[in-house]
Structure 1
Amino acid sequence: MKNLMKIISNRAIIIGLLILFQLVLLFAIIFKFQEYFVYFYGTYIAVSAAVIIKIVNSRSNPAYKIAWIIPIMLIPIFGTVIYLVFGRVRFSKDDKEMMARIQEKEKEANLDTVKGVTIDDGNMDAIIQSNYLSQFGEGALFNNTSSEYFPLGEDAFKAMLVELEKAEKYIFMEYFIVEEGKMWNTLLEVLERKAKEGLDVRFIYDDFGCLTTLPHHYYRQIEDKGIKCCVFNPFIPVLSPIFNNRNHRKITVIDGKVAFTGGINLADEYINEVDRFGHWKDNSIMVKGKAAWGFTLLFLSLWEFVYKADDNLEDFYPEFKEDELPESEGYYQPYVDSPFDNETVGMNVYLNLISRAKETVFITTPYLIIDNLIMEALCNAAKGGVDVRIIVPHNPDKWYVHAVTRSNYAQLIEAGVKIYEYTPGFIHSKTFVVDGIYATVGTVNLDYRSLFLHFECGIWMYKTSTVADVLRDHLETEAKSQLITLEEAKNVKWFVRLGRAILSVFSPLL
């Protein structure tokens, strides 16, 4: 009885039932109107035609368009209604104008503090990538930065605790998933103590990401501890396309001098305190020095949008002592991607890295659900002699997503791409390391939601010592993984192949 009451009172189940009720009610109204068949059918044809024309002429990815056009044409009425409710990426005009003002404010703060760092070795591939991120990724280029790469979540967790204890002015954190347990409870104790010491402590979590991991209105518990907290895009049981846009970013900033990003969320599976899918392979990177300011601005921009704050950004700029700034060691460029515009920053960073590679492209990703552009880029690089290697999980967290991942193996392997599955468990890290001189670490998965719908972040690096660390981690992980042969990729029963084909069509919606 107690378990039944727990299930019935679960917020995710309640929201799911309320949404289901609204859909049933909506379709019941539609069926009622069918009594006036001639008028209803004419209206339906007109609306469906308008929706299809809108989809075809949108700037969305072609695969995303096809994934919606098929149900609209195959399932009359229902497909159109579902698209109108869930299919659009929509922000209000006021939201877009507010974010544009905030981004302009952020750009001015960067210009006032960065002092015009440029890549001075004449490498046009690096310069072009950096220029793109400066223009579209809200990210300035930094030097005078050091970094440390953590190949496991538990390593990053230990480093975070050490750095948080050193905080003197402020701590800013934002994460997609937070769950009570050893990791979060330990961090929260530090945050509460620092807030009581008078530090400005702020926290953002995504409501959908925490739908099953935190109680409703959990932000009130955090605020009771003296921590400023806001919930990104609160999930309410009303049919809306806004469900699509989640904050998938992971950022910790300490005094504007230290910053963390990477794949890890704040839950115990990310530090292997609980076993969900075998060993959880994740990563994080810590930057110290000027590049941490880039992440400070990224956090404050989203904080201003969600919390409706009006901070003077320059008040948070760190004052470094003479011996506190690291020597120049390569270049760092934090960046973000958001659905506020039609610029697919995360995808373009990856495409630029693949297409400009001369020798190697090594990738780790939990999901390999790619569109034709990335598929062709990977295949063409491999056909041209570039050593392309991709590590994906052996144990999936979502079976249907893993099925689509495996459906891409054969085409990639035929082109010369090497595919590895991480046999000890689940790999959640998202890294690219190219030619031994470029690397990215961040939150951007190789799937449609990360590339087109979510708020994401990462850091692009050029000629830093950490690039070698990411490469070393890739090779060590590869040694623990299974190389997939073309025979294995093709030796699939017909009904499994059929199921994968159907899932692939709708993969942009998964």
Structure 2
Amino acid sequence: MFLIAAGIALQFAIYVVLLVLFSQYFVYFYWICVLVSLVMALFISTWKSKLAYKIAWIIPILLVPLIGGVMFIILGGARDPHYHREETRRTLKRQLPSRLSTTDLMRYGPDAMQQAWYLGHAALCPAYTNTETAYFSSGASFFPNFLEELEQAKDYIFLEYFIIAEGSMWSDVLDILTRKAAQGVDVRVIYDGVGSAATLPINYPDQLHARGILCRVFQPLLPVLSIHQNNRDHRKICVIDGVTGFVSGLNMADEYIDRKERFGYWKDNALRLRGEAVWSLTVFFLTMWDHQNPRSDFRLFRPRTLPPLNTTGGIVVPYTDTPNPADTVCADLHLQMITKAKRYLYLTTPYLAIDETITSALCTAARSGVDVRIMPPHIPDKKVVFAVTQSNYPVLLEAGARIYEFTPGFIHSKTVVADDLYASVGSCNLDYRSFYLQFENGVWLCGDPAVLSVRDDFLQTLEVCQEITLADCRTLPLFRRLLQSIYRLFAPLF
């Protein structure tokens, strides 16, 4: 809504200026803009994307024909980013061959086999068994172990995060990175150019280089029109010597570990991997590093040995997704986990801006007797996006799903757990941006002890949540309910 309002205001100002300066030509100019907008709307209608996403853009383009197309180019039209997909897929095929047979995958049933098969063959993210996991239910519990693991690095440390912010958390990490770099450890950092634009100075890569740390900024924010600024690196990956790795919902900033209060208590999580599956995280990082740099020799980063592991035979699948329209890994995986749930399905997400496919799947699961529970925040970080989140409540509640807002503050965890059998932990929100516009990553688990840890975390967190009922939604003023309907229409834009 803000984008549309801003577009209308800007268009009106431009109209006034043009009317004064070129009054005799204004009518012709206006109809040329309308014609261009109609052509662009027709182009979008043939675009390979979700129908709701296309409709959400066609409306503002037709309402504000003068600049609607420019808004789309900057904020919505970049489903084909600066990303060498075929070359990357060749690298994944070469570096990440399938390791488990169909018999291995069938041990947990045909539903588990199908999910693992999809990740291994469509997403080129193979399954592993010889991997130890540890789940951290908060940033505060994660961080001490994270620092301990960084201290153990002997060969390399790879960090890739959407946001890095100068402060207490990053200072502790940076001290270790600097010391390790001085010891000869290969230390590399990737951060997103938009996610960290307000938290780091523009010359920060030079500052890290002075410490012996290699750094790359993913698509730096530029003050020019660009169709690629909308595709961001939202991944959260840490790799240490190819032996230990972390995936999480949290970034490198103080609020994620409760050293700084923002929006009440900040609830986040992380998952540590140790063993064979960490090689996938290593490959993910190096392919992103090669995204804008010379090609890496992957052989140099293969761990020589693995430490003794306490594994139970569960399946661990690190996965990644891209903004390319041919890659919808996060959306597809969420859809599979929803449709294959038999007893319960618990989800945590900071944002709930879902398309009709996911909405329909959640509603169908609830109507089929699955205990569907969704946990968004009670205190939002973005009020407009929170309004979009709440606009999805009525249709889900009517179908029998249950919604619990996290009352102590802002929940930033992104988890799915079902039937004591499957779980996913990672960077992907339940929204259009994560599903279709950003680079994301996570870990799918099956039969692994961490699955029960994710479940227990959800159930314990329920104790401090407020359940939202259909009666709560229906008592809202008519104006707010009308706004919610509009928000749902434009949900893909947020």
Fold match (TM-score > 0.5): yes
> Is 1:265 aligned to residue 247 of structure 2?
no
Q: Is 1:337 matched with 2:326?
A: no
CA contact (8 A) 1:86 1:239 kept: no
8 A Cα contact 1:109 1:314, kept in partner:
no
Of 134, 143, 155, the match for 2:129? 143
1:60/1:504 Cα in 2 relative to 1: closer, same or farther (>3 Å)?
same
| Structure 1 residues 239 and 23: CA distance shift in structure 2, 3 A | farther
Instruction: Verify: 1:191 aligned to 2:177, yes or no.
Output: yes
1:487 offset after TM fit, Å?
Answer: 0.7
Q: Given the alignment, which residue of 442, 449, 455 partners 2:439?
A: 455
2:324 and 2:318 mapped to 1: Cα distance?
A: 18
Give the match for residue 310 of structure 1.
Answer: 295
SS in 2 for 1:333: strand
Whether the 8 Å CA contact 1:355–1:377 is kept in 2: the answer is yes
Instruction: Give the drift of 1:342.
Output: 2.8
Distance across 2 between alignment mates of 1:327 and 1:274: 36
Which residue matches 1:11?
none
CA distance in 2, matches of 1:24, 1:84: 21
Distance in structure 2 (CA, Å) of the matches to 1:219 and 1:22: 38
1:268 CA drift (Å): 0.4
TM-score (norm 1): 0.90
Confirm or deny: 8 A CA contact 1:138 1:336 kept in the other structure.
no
Does residue 364 (structure 1) correspond to residue 348 (structure 2)? The answer is yes
Match for residue 320 of structure 1 among 287, 291, 305:
305
- Give secondary structure in 2 for the equivalent of 1:231: strand
Provide the residue aligned with 1:300 in structure 2: 286
Whether the 8 Å CA contact 2:312–2:448 is kept in 1: the answer is no
Per the TM alignment, residue 428 of structure 1 is displaced from its structure 2 partner at its CA by 0.3
Q: Identify the residue that residue 432 of structure 1 maps to in structure 2.
A: 416
- 1:312 is displaced (CA, Å) by 1.4
The question of whether the paired residues in 2 share the 8 Å contact of 1:261 and 1:458 is answered with yes
C-alpha displacement of 1:120 = 4.0
* Residues 43 and 107 of structure 1: CA distance in aligned 2, closer, same or farther (over 3 Å): same
- Which of 70, 73, 76 in structure 1 is aligned with 2:65? 76
Q: Distance in 2 between matches of 1:41 and 1:396?
A: 40
TM-score by length of 2: 0.93
Q: Would the aligned equivalents of 2:392 and 2:488 in 1 still touch at CA under 8 Å?
A: no
Q: Distance in 2 between matches of 1:231 and 1:495?
A: 43
Shift of 1:41: 4.7
Name 1:478's counterpart in structure 2: 462
CA deviations 1:275-313 (Å, max 9, x no partner) are 11111110000010001111111001101113x122111
One-letter amino acid of the counterpart of residue 190, structure 2: I
Q: Distance in 2 between matches of 1:450 and 1:456?
A: 7
Match of 1:124 among 102, 110, 131: 110
CA–CA separation in structure 2 for the residues paired with 1:380 and 1:337? 26
Identity among equivalent pairs (%) = 44
Q: Distance in 2 between matches of 1:362 and 1:492?
A: 26
Instruction: Report which stretch shifted further, 28-37 or 77-86.
Output: 28-37
Alignment match, 1:417: 401
The answer to whether the 8 A contact 2:267-2:411 is kept is yes
C-alpha distance after superposition, 1:396-432 (max 9, x if no partner): 1111111111111111111110100111111000000
CA 1:74–1:24 in 2, change beyond 3 Å: closer, same or farther?
A: closer
- 2:158 matched to 1:169? no
SS at structure 1 position matched to 2:352:
coil
Report which stretch shifted further, 183-192 or 40-49.
40-49
Alpha-carbon distance between aligned partners in 1 of 2:257 and 2:15, rounded to the nearest angstrom: 44
Q: Residues 110 and 189 of structure 1: is their aligned pair in 2 closer, same or farther, counting only changes over 3 Å?
A: same
How far apart, in 1, do the equivalents of 2:79 and 2:469 lie? 42
C-alpha distance in structure 2 between counterparts of 1:318 and 1:114, whole Å: 17
1:23-422 aligned at under 5 Å gives the runs 35-37=24-26, 39-41=28-30, 43-89=32-78, 91=80, 95-96=82-83, 98-111=84-97, 114=99, 118-121=104-107, 123-306=109-292, 308-321=293-306, 324-422=308-406
**Which residue of 2 is the match for residue 468 of structure 1?**
452
Q: Does the residue aligned with 2:96 lie in a helix, a strand or coil?
A: helix
- Structure 1 residues 370 and 115: alpha-carbon distance in aligned structure 2, compared to 1, 3 A threshold: closer
How many Å separate the matches in 2 of 1:31 and 1:286? 63
Decide whether aligned partners of structure 1 residues 32 and 143 sit closer, same or farther in structure 2, where only a CA change above 3 A counts. Answer: farther
Tell me the residue number matched to 1:443: 427
1:196 aligned partner, one-letter code? A
Code of the residue aligned with 1:487 in structure 2: it is: A
The residue matched to 1:393 in structure 2 has which SS? Answer: coil
Question: Could you tell me how far 1:36 is from its partner in structure 2?
Answer: 3.1
The number of aligned residues is 485
Q: CA 1:90–1:30 in 2, change beyond 3 Å: closer, same or farther?
A: farther
> Does the CA-based 8 Å contact 1:33-1:40 persist in structure 2?
no
Cα distance between partner residues in 1 of 2:315 and 2:273: 11
Give the distance between the partners of 2:474 and 2:144, measured in 1 at CA: 43
Does the C-alpha gap of structure 1 residues 120 and 315 become closer, same or farther in structure 2, counting only changes over 3 Å? farther
How far the C-alpha of 1:115 sits from its partner, in A, is 7.2
Question: What CA deviation, in whole Å up to 9, does each residue of 1:258-289 have, x standing for no partner?
Answer: 11011110000000111111111100000100
Q: Secondary structure of 1:441's match?
A: strand
1:47 partner letter: V
**What letter is aligned with 1:173?**
L
Letter of the structure 2 residue corresponding to residue 316 of structure 1: F
RMSD over equivalenced CA pairs, Å = 2.3
Alpha-carbon distance, 1:341 to partner: 3.5
Cα deviation for residue 106 of structure 1 reads: 2.6
Alpha-carbon separation, structure 1, partners of 2:16 and 2:209: 41
Query: Given the superposition, is the C-alpha separation of residues 358 and 42 from structure 1 closer, same or farther in structure 2, using an over 3 Å criterion?
Result: same
Deviation at 1:156, TM superposition (A): 1.1
Distance 2:110 2:165 in 1: 44
CA contact (8 A) 1:102 1:304 kept: no
Unaligned runs of 5+ in 1: 1-19
CA shift, 1:43, in A, is 3.3
Please give the alpha-carbon distance, in whole angstroms, between the structure 2 residues aligned to 1:458 and 1:90. 21
Q: 1:122 & 1:365 partners in 2: Cα distance?
A: 27
Alpha-carbon distance change, 138 to 218 in structure 1, aligned in 2, over 3 angstroms = farther
Letter in 1 for 2:314: G
Partner of 1:210, secondary structure, is: coil
Asked if structure 1 preserves the Cα contact closer than 8 Å seen for 2:388 and 2:491, the reply is yes
8 Å CA contact 1:219, 1:230 repeated in 2: yes
**Kept after mapping to 1: 8 A contact 2:405/2:466:** yes
